[in-house]
Amino acid sequence: MSTRKLFGTDGIRGIANLAPVTPETAFRLGRAVGFLQTAEVQKASRASFVIGRDTRRSGPMLEAALVAGLNSVGADALLAGVIPTPAVACLVKELNASGGVVISASHNPAEDNGLKLFGSDGYKLDDALEERIETLMLTDEIDAVRPTGSKIGTVSEITDAVARYAIMAKASVPGMTLHGVKIALDSANGASFVTTPLVLQELGATLSLSHASPDGMNINAACGSTHPEEISRLVKETGAQIGISHDGDADRLVLCDETGAIVDGDEILAMTALDALQRGTLAGQTLVATVMSNFGLDECLAAAGGKVLRTAVGDRYVVEAMRAGNFSIGGEQSGHLIFRDHGTTGDGLLAALQVLRIMTESGRPLSELRKVLKKYPQAQRNIKVRAKPPLDSLTEVAALITETEASLAGKGRVLLRYSGTEPKIRLLIEGPDEAKINTAADKITDALTRAIGI
């Protein structure tokens, strides 16, 4: 079991200006990653890091501390400004940088923030490297590393960061035109408020844009992918053919069809994987998904001659499996979707463009395309907790889970796990009888609330 004190499932995350997400942490992170890269690569020129952030008020504060840390060990900082997480991964590769740092708490509230890292290959760092970085941050091992004079790092702005990312995104759908396509877009007052509208409009779409006026505190506030009811409302009001809703850093999305019905990550995976199978571009005829994805995916892919490979929850584990097997499409039910032919991490814009390409090439509406996935009913609960004791120590909960699994008789499953980024525990029950699994979910939720709930 990991004993890491700072890094969670997606970098370092928490309330900004409170431990662990403080300027002091950002400074020590900058020193640690800058030192490691300089020591390992031994380049003739010094190490450089692309830094991007979302629209939170605390972003510039953490950015300044991070830059100071990098510069203090002789590494250069390349500032991309407000830009989606996947754009940082893209820029790292394009600029041959040593790595990248994203300052964002993704879908979390505005008071939160986070720090997540990318390597020189544009991929998130593995657990072992994060543990090494954490050790450097929490000890005095590199405190004496203090270059002076011309060996101190520099700071520069990437003035064409948005344009570079837009070019990459459009290159993923060569020749596609969106003339005559009406799109409703919810940018969550986040990092995509410039990039996604730019790309969609340059491709010819008619755009109804909402929640694209960030003020530092309204990111994800009653909007974005965590509030899908908002994009549903916008589609119905505007008569759009599709609705696109990002989270705060735009590494994921939720879609809405022309009727106002929400289309989740599993449905997007099914559509894009089947399309790739038909075109012969789904590597290994395999789609990578997590244990949280609906088992309807397995039946859907199997019927078309493909298969699903399951991983632990978290887009980083999906990407690790994709890299290990050289697979091309993977993602999560939550809307983290990875298309490795075009990018190295979850990218809400790339995913939306792939669906739009399928729509325009087939001439079929999204409400029809989504029907390729026949879902098993699922009951999901997210419960706030005051502590995270071992699950096997919750005897009443364990007994109810055993009882539920027995009643499903092999035709369903129960998953219970703690969130890696929030004080929550997440429950999923899947089975053929919707009423039955909801009753079971309510019983387990009540037991969890009594034991550890807030």
Mean pLDDT confidence for 110-126: 96
pLDDT of residue 45: 67
H or E segment and range at residue 419: none
Instruction: State the Cα–Cα distance between residues 346 and 123, nearest whole angstrom.
Output: 10
Q: Which helix (H) or strand (E) holds 219?
A: none
One of 48, 104, 106, 232 is an active-site residue; which one? 106
Q: Provide the 10 A C-beta neighbour count for residue 346.
A: 33
- Residue range 340-359: average pLDDT? 98
Percentage of residues of the chain with pLDDT beyond 70: 98
Closest CA to 315 of 293, 299, 297: 293
Cβ atoms of 30 and 99 within 8 Å: the answer is no
CATH number for the domain running over 180-261: 3.40.120.10
> What class, spelled out in words, does domain 264-361+368-372 have in CATH?
alpha beta
Residue 299's contacts (CB-CB under 8 Å, 6 or more residues apart) are: 374
For the beta sheet containing 182-186, the strands, ordered from the edge strand earlier in sequence to the opposite edge, are 206-210, 182-186, 242-246, 253-256, 262-263
The arithmetic mean of pLDDT across residues 155-183, rounded, is 98
Give the model's confidence band at 146: pLDDT under 50 very low, under 70 low, under 90 confident, else very high.
very high
pLDDT tens-digit readout, 220-266: 999 999 999 999 999 999 999 999 999 999 999 999 999 999 999 99
CATH of 378-452, one of 3.40.50.300, 3.90.25.10, 3.30.310.50, 1.20.1250.20: 3.30.310.50
Q: How confident is the model at residue 42 (pLDDT cuts 50, 70, 90)?
A: low
| Token pair in block for residue 174 | 């060569």
Q: How distant, in Å, are the alpha carbons of 398, 415, 441 from that of 403?
A: 9, 13, 12
Largest CA distance in the chain: 70
Q: Are 117 and 37 in contact (CB under 8 A)?
A: no
Query: Residue 369 — very low, low, confident or very high, per pLDDT cuts 50/70/90?
Result: very high
CA distance 105 to 102: 9
Backbone φ, ψ for residue 12 (5° rounding) = -100, 125
Does residue 20 have a cis peptide bond before it, meaning omega lies within 30 degrees of 0? yes
Task: Tell me the CATH architecture of domain 12-161.
Answer: 3-Layer(aba) Sandwich (3.40)
Give the per-residue pLDDT at 410.
Answer: 76
- The per-residue pLDDT for 2 is 54
Task: Count the neighbouring beta carbons within 10 Å of the beta carbon of residue 391.
Answer: 14
Determine the Cα–Cα distance for residues 350 and 168; give it in Å rounded to an integer: 9
Cβ–Cβ < 8 Å for 186, 244? yes
CA distance 383 to 418: 9
Average pLDDT of the residues of the chain = 95
Closest to 243 in 3D by CA, of 187, 286, 159, 162: 187
Rounded percentage of the chain residues whose pLDDT exceeds 90? 90
The tens digit of pLDDT for each residue in 385-413 reads 999 999 999 999 999 999 999 999 877 88
Q: How far out from the chain centre does Cα 253 lie?
A: 9
Given a cut of 50, is residue 444 above it in pLDDT?
Answer: yes
pLDDT at 421 over 90: no
pLDDT, residue 409, reads 85
CA-CA distance, 417 to 411, in Å (whole number)?
20
| Domain boundaries of the chain, sorted by first residue | 12-161, 180-261, 264-361+368-372, 378-452
Rounded to an integer, the average pLDDT of 102-110 is: 97
Catalytic status, residue 187: no
Instruction: Name the pTM for this structure.
Output: 0.89
Question: Which of 57, 69, 138 has the alpha carbon at shortest distance from 101?
Answer: 69
Rounded Cα–Cα distance for residues 415 and 419 (Å): 12
Q: Which residues share a beta bridge with 254?
A: 245
pLDDT mean over 30-48: 79
pLDDT per position as a tens digit, 266-307: 999 999 999 999 999 999 999 999 988 998 899 899 999 999
Q: What is the mean pLDDT of residues 323-327?
A: 98
Supply the pLDDT for residue 9.
80
Asked if 12-161 and 180-261 have one fold, the answer is: yes
- Token pair for residue 416? 């219970």
Give CA torsion, residues 220, 264, 164, 188, to 10 deg.
-10
What is the C-alpha radius of gyration for the chain, rounded to an integer number of angstroms?
22
pLDDT of residue 1: 41
Query: Judging by beta carbons within 10 Å of its beta carbon (0-12, 13-18, 19+), is residue 273 exposed, middle or buried?
Result: buried
Facing residues of 102 across strands? 52, 116
Measured CA to CA, the distance from residue 255 to residue 272 in angstroms comes to 13
- Closest by CA position to 55, among listed 104, 17, 16: 104
- Cβ atoms 439, 369 nearer than 8 A: no
